[in-house]
Structure 1
């Protein structure tokens, strides 16, 4: 695969994960990992498509940028987690409260939020937006890695693999289309239908 991509194969390590899941990934440090099930069950052409996709992450620098993005987003994830816990506590504490008390709490919270944003020039909003931006970059990286595999001649094999995964997903979770928009917004992987649609121009 590295020879086909025109890169030095000695720079890359292939790791095999003893897992029954059908998965592969590119990790920083020129590592391509694939599960034992993928090696065992995927036809050669589809395995080649998966490896070409993961190699595309490396040749485009996605592995390092993804690792750095994950670390830079740690404060944002902590902030979101704190907000989630605060929301849960507020829900529990206001269950028996009167309407007047609720209005006072909402007005006070709004005032504190507005004052904080005004004093910090809106920087906390940027902090909260980082996970969404990182997820959007991750989705674009996946589409670019698909394009890399297709340009190496694995477009049909990759499309077949994605179709099979989509069929498995639909059988396991028929209501996937009703997934919460928030979960999709924070997902680092585009949905399979989007990936298949973007692959069409290479087929």
Structure 2
């Protein structure tokens, strides 16, 4: 419930995008115009879940383990699945290219670990890391991750638009310079003004959305702590702590904008601190 409550800012941020669109369409097409953005939102959530493995490969660059990684992962994954009472065919293991030990928690049947973990961790620590990632998928632990993924769909869509909105302007400017005629420069100027106005209008909901998504990251941090607690209950707390401490000592510390903005310690450090306290006599 705490993790779900922390998702409220993400919901507010998403509504800052979907709400104005629904209001504008409602003025043009009463009732149905207001419904369409929410239908598209739900359809996007379904699309992101249904063929998820394909999307994860294309959008996030997740890949299958190499032959060597598969060899190193076979026994630890078998032991982790047995500890959690999960059948081997229920999940598919994929690799995220990262120098840190913490992989993103995803929804669906995919379990992700980092290339750093797959290549460097000894079997017992690998088992603990795999148990941590599997714990995100079991029971109610999957709900906050699933909710965060779908609540931030409109935010990610708007961010995608804002990063590409100036491309037509740059292309038109290149064409105008090639033509070297007044007409080309006039069209380029008009297009620049139009895109600038759209950009300014979108910046307000985008600002609200980005802040909401950033604050909601506290919810995903909470799910990491819960997964660590589940691993400790399985008797793998010392192995997971050893994996985190080794990564910290070797400088594999990932810190995102949210933690830097809030001046809090990186997630991996806070996870290690909680595990130390949990294992203290």
Q: Give the TM-score normalised by the residue count of structure 2.
A: 0.45
Q: Which residue of 2 aligns with 1:70?
A: 152
Could you give the per-residue CA deviations for residues 131-156 of structure 1, whole angstroms, max 9, x where no partner exists? 23321111111111111111111100
Q: Which residue of 1 aligns with 2:270?
A: 194
1:25–1:33 contact (8 Å) kept in structure 2: yes
SS in 1 for 2:112: strand
SS in 2 for 1:194: helix
Distance 1:181 1:10 in 2: 36
Q: Which residue of 1 aligns with 2:126?
A: 47
1:137 equivalent in alignment to 2:213 = no
Q: CA deviation at 1:39?
A: 3.1
The alignment yields a C-alpha RMSD, in angstroms, of 3.9
2:99–2:114 contact (8 Å) kept in structure 1: yes
Distance 1:180 1:12 in 2: 28
Distance 1:16 1:125 in 2: 32
Pick the aligned partner of 1:30 from 96, 109, 133.
109
Q: Give the TM-score normalised by the residue count of structure 1.
A: 0.59
SS in 2 for 1:34: strand
Count the aligned residue pairs: 157
1:168 equivalent in alignment to 2:250 = yes
Unmatched tracts of structure 2, length 5 or more: 1-79, 164-204
Distance 1:197 1:16 in 2: 26
Unmatched tracts of structure 1, length 5 or more: 82-122
Distance 1:79 1:130 in 2: 18
Distance 2:256 2:116 in 1: 30
| Higher relative contact order (CA closer than 8 Å, sequence separation 6+) | 2
